[in-house]
Chain A
C-alpha cells in the first residue's frame, strides 16, 4: 500500500476491521453463553456459572465422543503425516511420468466438494466392508488430511537444498539415515505444523463423518445431532473448548514457524 491515497488506506482498514469483527462475532457470542447460568440459550447471559461445563464433563456420552474424536484425530493425523510427508518428498524430489497427475490426486480431497468426497468414501468403504467401522473413519480422515500435510511439507521440502541430501549419500549415508539424521531434523518445525493442521482437520470434521461414522459419535457430529434434537447450552461449552483447542494449536504452529524462520534469518 505504499503510495496509496489516505482514502483508499482508510477504506482498506475499515474493510479489514469489518471482516475481522464479522468472523469474531460468533466466538464473542458463544463464549459468554457457555458461562451462562440460564437454563436455555439466551444472549446476553443473565448470570455467570460453570453449570454447562459441569453438565458436559458429567455426561458420559459427551466424554465418549471426546475420546473417540481424540483417538481418531491422533491416528488419522499420524497416518496422514506419514503418507502426505512421503508423497511430498516423492513429488518434490522425483521426476517421473505422471507426477502432476499424482499430485492432483493427492490434493483432490481438498478441492472436490466435500459432499462428493463423502459419497465417494461412503460407497468405497461400503464396498470393502468398512462402512461404520472405526478403521473406516481413520481411513477417511487420513484421506481428507493428506492434502494439508502435502501442502505444508511440499513447501518445506522444496526450500531444502537437494544437494545437502546428495552430499549425505556421497558421504556414505543410506537413504533412511539421510532421512532421519539430515532431512527430518531440518524439517522438524514443518513436520510439527503439518501434524497440527492434520489433527485439527480431523477433530473438526463433520460432513464426511456424518456419512460414514455409523454408531460412532465424534464431538462435531454429536454437536450437529444435538442441535437438531434440542437446543442445549452444553453445546456452547463444547464449542468454547473446541475454539480454545484450535486457537492454542494454531498459536503453537505460528510460534514454531516464527522461531524456525527467525533462526534462519539470524543465521543466514
Chain B
C-alpha cells in the first residue's frame, strides 16, 4: 500500500500536450478517479503512472519512491483494462498464478493465494475455465483477481466496467468498491462515466485537454464546480446570471416549481422526461428571462406536469454556485 504523487507531469506529442503539468496526490488507501471526455488525456496519465509510457517532464512517486524512470516491471502495480487483457491460452487459475510465478512464489503457497484472490471476486469453482468460456463480467473479475493477488502497491483501473451492460456495471461497481475497501489498496480509476466517478471515488480529478480542472470530493465537485467545464461535464448544469455580470450554476434538483401566478419567474414546460423516481422538466423562462432554458429534476408524486403547462420557477440564493 502506497501513496501516489505526480509533480508537474507533462506528456507532449509534438505540439499537443496529452498531459499538461499535472499535479496530483493520492493518499494511501484512497480511491481517486480521473474523469474526463475521450481525448482528455486520462488514459495517457494512467499509462505514465503504470510505466508504459515516459513523461516528457515532471516526476512520478509511488510510496515516496521516484519511479519516473523505472520500467513497468519494477513498479509493483495492479493494472486492469477495459478489454480485460487476460492471457487467452491460460486457465483462470493460471492467469491469477502468473504474477506469483514471476515473483518466484510457487506450489501450494501460490495456489492458496490465487484461490483466495478468486474467492474475493466470487469466482471460486471456475479455476479450470479458459477466459473465452467466461462472460464479460467474469473475465473482468479474473482480471481484478490477477491484479490484486500479489498485493500491489497501487491499483490502476482503465475504464474497467466500460464493456459491460448497465446492470452488470452497477453490480460490479459495488463489488469493486467493497474489494478496494477490504484490501485498502490505493486505487486510481480512469473513466468518462461521471456516474461511476461520483459513486466510487473518495475524490475526483476532472481532466480536460490534459489539464486538471478540479480535484475534489464528488459532492463538492458536483455542487461547487471550479469552472464551466466541470459544471457541464458533471451532470446537468443550469447557468443563471448573477449581479455584476457573473454566472452561477444551479443543479436541476435545486430548482423549485410552483403554480403559475405565485412567487418566482414565470416559465413554460417544454418537455417532461419520466425517469422512474424522478421527472426531468425542460423549461423555458418567459419574458426572455436571462439564461433560459432551464432543466429541473423533481421527485415524481402523483402527476407529472405536461408540456405547455405554465409554472413559476425559483431557487434559493444558497443553491447558486458562482463559476467563472
Chain A positions within 8 Å of B, measured between CB atoms, are 161, 163-164, 166-174, 177, 181-182, 185-186, 264, 266-268
Contact = CB atoms under 8 A, between A and B. Distances in A.
Contacts of A186: 87-89
Nearest to B133: A267
Size category, B interface: 20 to 34
Given A172-B103, A172-B150, A267-B133, A164 B73 contact: no
Contact of B79 (A170, A182, A267): A170
Contacts of B52: 166, 169-170
A177 to B, nearest CB: 7
B130 A164 contact: no
B81 interface: yes
A166 B79 contact: yes
Contacts of A168: 87, 98
Contact of B85 (A167, A174, A266): A167
B267 to A, nearest CB: 50
A266 B133 CA distance: 9
A178 to B, nearest CB: 9
The 4 closest A-B CB pairs, nearest first, are A267-B132, A171-B99, A170-B79, A169-B72
Interface string B101-134: 0110000000000000000000000000010110
B71 interface: yes
Contacts of A161: 83, 85
B210 interface: no
B87 A164 contact: yes
B75 interface: yes
B214 interface: no
B85 A164 contact: yes
B270 interface: no
A66 to B, nearest CB: 37
Given A172-B99, A173-B98, A167 B73 contact: no
B205 interface: no
A82 B196 CA distance: 46
Contacts of A174: 73
A113 B132 CA distance: 45
Contacts, number: 68
Contacts of B75: 170
A267 B129 CA distance: 11
Given A170-B79, A170-B156, 10 more contacts: A161-B83, A163-B81, A164-B88, A166-B81, A170-B51, A170-B75, A172-B76, A173-B73, A173-B98, A186-B89
B203 interface: no
A164 to B, nearest CB: 5
Interface in B152-170: 156
B50 interface: yes
Contacts of A267: 88, 130, 132-133
14 contacts: A163-B83, A164-B85, A166-B79, A167-B79, A167-B143, A169-B72, A170-B51, A170-B79, A171-B147, A173-B102, A181-B98, A186-B88, A266-B132, A267-B133
A171 B150 contact: yes
Contacts of A177: 102
B83 A166 contact: no
Contacts of A268: 132
Contacts of B133: 267
A166 B87 contact: no
B102 A171 contact: yes
A171 B88 contact: no
A266 B88 CA distance: 13
A166 B102 contact: no
A182 B132 CA distance: 16
B77 interface: yes
A173 B77 CA distance: 12
Nearest to A266: B132
B146 interface: yes
B117 to A, nearest CB: 13
A182 B99 CA distance: 12
A166 B73 contact: no
Given A161-B83, A163-B83, A169 B89 contact: no
Nearest to A182: B87
A172 B81 contact: no
A170 B88 contact: no
Contact of B72 (A164, A166, A264): A166
Interface string B228-262: 00000000000000000000000000000000000
Interface in B63-93: 71-73, 75-79, 81, 83, 85-89
Contacts of B156: 170
A171 B143 CA distance: 11
Contacts of A170: 50-52, 72-73, 75, 77-79, 156
Nearest to B87: A182
Contacts of A164: 85-88
Q: Which among A161, A164, A167 has the greatest number of chain B C-beta atoms within 10 A?
A: A167
A170 B146 CA distance: 11
A172 B85 contact: no
B131 to A, nearest CB: 8
A165 B99 CA distance: 13
B81 to A, nearest CB: 5
Contacts of B73: 169-170, 172-174
